[in-house]
A and B are shown apart, each in its own frame.
Chain A
Amino acid sequence: MSWRNAFALALTFAYGLSLSVSAASAQTYTDSPYLKEMGLPPVVERLPATPRVIGDREIGRYGGDLRLIMARSRDTRMMTVYGYARLVAFDDDFEIVPDILESVEVEEGRIFTFKLRQGHKWSDGQPFTTEDLRYWWEDVAKNAELSPFGPPVFLKVEDEWPQVDVIDETTIRYSWSQANPFFLPRLAAPRPAFIYRPSHFLKRFHTNFADPEELNQLQRKFRIRGWAPLHNSLDNLYNNDNPELPTLQPWVNTVRPPSQQFIFVRNPYFHRVDEDGQQLPYIDRVVMNIANGKLIPAKVGAGEADLQARSLFMTHFTFLRQAEEREGYETRLWHNGKGAQVALFPNLNYKDPVWRDLFRDVRFRRALSVAIDRDEINEAIFLGLSQPANNTVLPQSPLFDDEYQQVWTEYDPDLAEELLDELGLTERNKDGIRLLANGEPLEIVVETEGDATEQVDVLELVHDTWLDIGIKLFTRPSQSDVFRNRIYAGETQMAVSAGADNGIPTADMSPSEFAPTEQTQYQWPKWGQFFETSGQAGEAPDLPEAQELFQLYEDWRVATSTDEREEIWHRMLSLYTDQVYSIGIVCCTRQPVVVSQKLRNVPKEAMYNWDPGAHFGIFLPDSFYFAE
């Protein structure tokens, strides 16, 4: 996110708003009949002075229940994801725009001035002001009892916390002495950093504000010992598990978890309107039923959901398609936004030095990569609907290049054998498995997370073609926590997982996934940890190419123009894919999305992605509506 861009956007947005304000004063706002007889103030008073106008789609009509099915009671948080009301948010071109905020001004990438909407209200009708942002910063993030570890780290730039200045009721400024390119993207994330809280509601539970006697009574009532745990259990804006807690999302939860059903009703104070001045959302209620994840496809196929993608996979496609007509829905195939659907991660920090040196030799990684018959995997497991590819950016990204996607992916067992022979791995045992210098057979254990069926299936096929070049592959499934901890500790030779989380980055989005910056990068966990802990744990990268990637990442962080960033991105992608740090197998798989035939404004084809994307979030489900 370039600050210049954001600034320009803020400007255009403000300009657009001044237009819509004059238009709005000419036309009156309207709202859903659902809210009649609730004794609410008229809609004009419930909307902020300048609501956000959602354009570029069909004007809808009010009414209806949107039925969703989720796998766990805890999935109430998915409505925070789908609702996607954020201070700033990604639009469907993946640019950051103000949403809850009226405007954002960014100076030098380090001073962020937020302007709230005048008259914006929480779902309980109380005003949403800079006090809510201040309360979080001063009384929650910096309170040692509520936050034993201090404020979240994305607010920290080189050991420095931001300076927070409340300017007036609708203006607040966050500033650092250096640029913080991660600040706005974190606010726009599907699981955003909530840097505000409904202070009017929570102060009752905060020791600095509440009457001690009353606070004691409340603790008894809720059966929770201590004010901090009580405050904490009530204020989770993300989990959405407290129906009492006011929110800014389009729909408000009305049921306390756990339950088999959650009903979310429209927020009468929501800040978005359509071009005709109708307050959003169109749909009055969202009904979320909870069912065993494995039963969800069956329930969807029985017409029990209006909009569903979670728990549906390509393997269910045949079944879903067959029930389409009878149950009145459509099965759309959206694009998956991961850099690769399945990728192998040779662990460059593996504890055994012989193996580690082997993994660190680029020839070995290339040999492994070209010894995979990706076309066959595509046909056998993905029904030909995916693409053989490296773990890199997807064609939908402006940074895409054929070269990145295809280098070292052509199936060429002869080349693989040649590379392995070159490495001196010429001895073989009686089963034809190559031997390492120390006489150990070349047997690689690939670990998978949980019962990731699809990945295990892919590995079965990889096993065959690797065997042809004298490498034996074993698959070992383990539970998520064990899986990770083993990798972090260097006990895993190779891991299989999905590729880059964000396969559709723009030059302004962080390239951290392609440089050793995080412990969760399975190819170099210790190098990532080294960066994350500022050198206190882990190991410093000692391969020149990895060091170069890291340096490029640092350059990106301080780069000042989008062109410069784009240049850096290309150098990183080119280097990363040529070095085959992760062995991507296929990409561009599809995600089945079941949409009721009556539901409108849902894109026919789109990216289904977590961050950026928030699954359906960036398509603004509040603008979805049911046709007659």
Chain B
Amino acid sequence: MNDHGAGGERLTHFVSQEPFNPVIDAELTPEQERFYMASQWRLMWWKLRRHKLAVIAGGILLLLYLSALFAEVVSPYELSHRNRTHIFAPPQPIHLFDKGRFVGPFVYGFDRSVDPNDLRRVYTPNPEKVQPLRFFCSGGYRGADYEFWGLFDGDFHLFCPAEKSATVFLLGTDRLGRDMFSRIIYGARISLSVGLAGITLSFLLGIVIGGIAGYYGGWIDNVIQRFIEVLRSFPRLPLWMALSAAIPAKASPVAVYFAITLIIALLDWPGLARAVRSKLLALREEDFATAAELLGASPRRIIGRHLVPSFASHLIASATLAIPEMILAETALSFLGLGLRPPITSWGVLLQETLNIQAITITPWIMTPVIPVILTVLAFNFLGDGLRDAADPYK
């Protein structure tokens, strides 16, 4: 090691005068202490908070789920309300100024006519019909009454049209004069919950099956591994199609809803099971697992009480990333006519209407349900990414 100072002069001898403290590395600043003493969940939250995109995504999702929860209040019209005089009416944009004068949020009313040549319904905004929106309002127009969650009658809305004869169709109407905006909000209730219900199912399946494989290992693991491999090698959509073709046509809407959820979950659990298994394989070699075993804990207790909590955060991240796929699957199946069927209103059911050429050329607002689909999928992905990063708080 003589060439250390090659080309240079010799280093001077140096001894530190400070007292030697052998545990200096283990001593913590208060900040560090707070960090090390915090629970895993708290750490995750700190880490996630720094991930701007994930926070925004989370906010959007919260908003979406809240409006699905309070669909009756958020949407100006009841789900099945039809406005016979406004069939295929275009969206009514919200204006603030009328002829240079500030009015507050309002829409222009429509004048209707039918084009004698191509029989098209023509709606022209009438500048005389200024219809200011009302906020936190109570009914007073057709389609305002609802049964909240099918339990209580009500007519309170976030916003309403100006008066009985006025309308507010933010995203236009469909072929029966139903408000697209309201239908999208009500559709969220189904589409968003399919994702949650599906992930719950697949979560349970994944943990149980993956847990068994990972904990016992050996031939059990082998069989389960092989089976997972088979399931993963199936192209999902054709398999979903085949399975949903088997839903009896007689089934009630609720049964169809659960069947679809089940079918979607059935093909999703292998991914989770695999993650669970590999984590378990690693963790069961850890000392605390051995300790628990020596103390006579049952396998169920070891898995459930000791092993699962230690990688739950990872599981939640994976689950979050799996939800959007389920939402898209529901949309695709319903679009193909194999999934949910009217009168259930989901985003996929609404998008079924777009296969009609008119939708794209003449009434493009029929395609608007795609916006919340994209938004939700994006939000779940960003949030999932954030959670995944946050799941390893010490990194």
Contacts and interface: CB of A to CB of B under 8 A. Distances in A.
Contacts of A380: 84, 87, 177
Contacts of B114: 383
A627 interface: no
A453 B114 CA distance: 22
Contacts of A295: 355, 357
A318 B115 CA distance: 9
A287 to B, nearest CB: 22
A567 interface: no
Given A294-B356, A315-B175, A315-B356, A478 B119 contact: no
A564 interface: no
A475 interface: yes
Interface in B310-368: 337, 341-343, 355-358, 361-362
B250 A482 contact: yes
A298 B175 CA distance: 18
Contacts of A385: 119
Interface residues of A, number: 28
A478 B249 contact: yes
A321 interface: yes
B342 to A, nearest CB: 7
Given A317-B118, A321-B117, A298 B249 contact: no
Contacts of B119: 317-318, 321, 383, 385
B104 to A, nearest CB: 33
A297 B118 contact: no
A319 B84 contact: no
Chain B: interface secondary structure? loop
A298 B82 contact: no
Nearest to B80: A460
B341 A477 contact: yes
Nearest to A483: B249
A457 interface: yes
A318 B362 contact: yes
B118 A322 contact: yes
B118 A298 contact: no
B207 to A, nearest CB: 37
A445 to B, nearest CB: 12
Interface residues of B, number: 25
Nearest to A385: B119
Contact of A319 (B87, B176, B342, B358): B358
Interface in A466-519: 475, 477-479, 481-482
B129 interface: no
B120 interface: yes
A225 interface: no
Nearest to A379: B84
A443 interface: no
A74 interface: no
Given A294-B355, A318-B120, A383-B114, A376 B84 contact: yes
A526 to B, nearest CB: 21
A456 interface: yes
B343 A475 contact: yes
A427 interface: no
A460 B176 contact: yes
A571 interface: no
Given A317-B119, A482-B249, A457 B175 contact: yes
A156 interface: no
Nearest to B120: A318
A451 interface: yes
Interface of B: 80, 82, 84, 87, 114-115, 117-120, 175-177, 249-250, 337, 341-343, 355-358, 361-362
13 contacts: A294-B355, A297-B356, A298-B357, A315-B356, A319-B358, A321-B118, A380-B87, A380-B177, A451-B341, A456-B342, A457-B175, A460-B82, A461-B84
Given A383-B119, A482-B249, 5 more contacts: A295-B357, A318-B118, A319-B357, A319-B361, A385-B119
